[in-house]
Amino acid sequence: MLPRQNLTFNIFMDSYFSNIPLFIVLRELNIGACRTARQNTTRFPKELKIYKGDKLDWNTLSAVVVDEKVFAILWMDNGPVTMMSTIHEIVGDPSFITRNRRRPRETSTNAKSVRAAFGGNPCADLLIPKIIDDYNHNMNGVDISD
């Protein structure tokens, strides 16, 4: 038995050693979790898988709820970003946040689509999903050395 089972924790992690079954167990233990996800993760929704040659517009956002407990998303930034969470949603104003973002380089995967949002400016205030922002601000070194 966990010594502090009555407390709620939120864990931010990278894509190694975690999957949807683990997130379901963590949620049942009242532990929130958020992570980057690999598309080949156990039980990752096939509706969110991107195949080579697939093109999506910048800021495209799709989501699937798995077993009413785990939220999986696909967000198109400079490239596809897949995430899983038991502590986020994508409905309504609190699900998005405005952040000042730098224009991507010409060589980024989705440069043409993304650069349109910036016009000629090197930076722009853009609306991004809160799950992405929370992960970026709470990972505390996770994924830094990858």
What does the domain layout of the chain look like in residue ranges?
Answer: 9-138
What is the pairing mode between strands 123-129 and 96-102?
A: antiparallel
Q: Whole-model pTM above 0.85?
A: no
Q: What is the pLDDT of residue 73?
A: 94
DSSP string computed for 66-100? ETTTEEEEEEESSSEEEEEESS---SSGGGEEEEE
Query: Does residue 66 sit in helix, strand or coil?
Result: strand
Do residues 34 and 15 lie in contact, with contact meaning Cβ atoms separated by under 8 Å?
Answer: no
- Per-residue pLDDT tens listing for the chain (146 residues): 334 445 578 889 888 878 899 999 999 998 999 999 988 888 899 999 988 878 888 888 999 999 988 999 999 988 889 999 999 887 776 888 999 988 877 776 677 777 778 888 888 898 999 999 999 888 866 555 54
User: CB of 19 within 8 A of CB of 78?
Assistant: no
Query: Comparing C-alpha atoms, which of 14, 4, 50 is closest to residue 34?
Result: 14
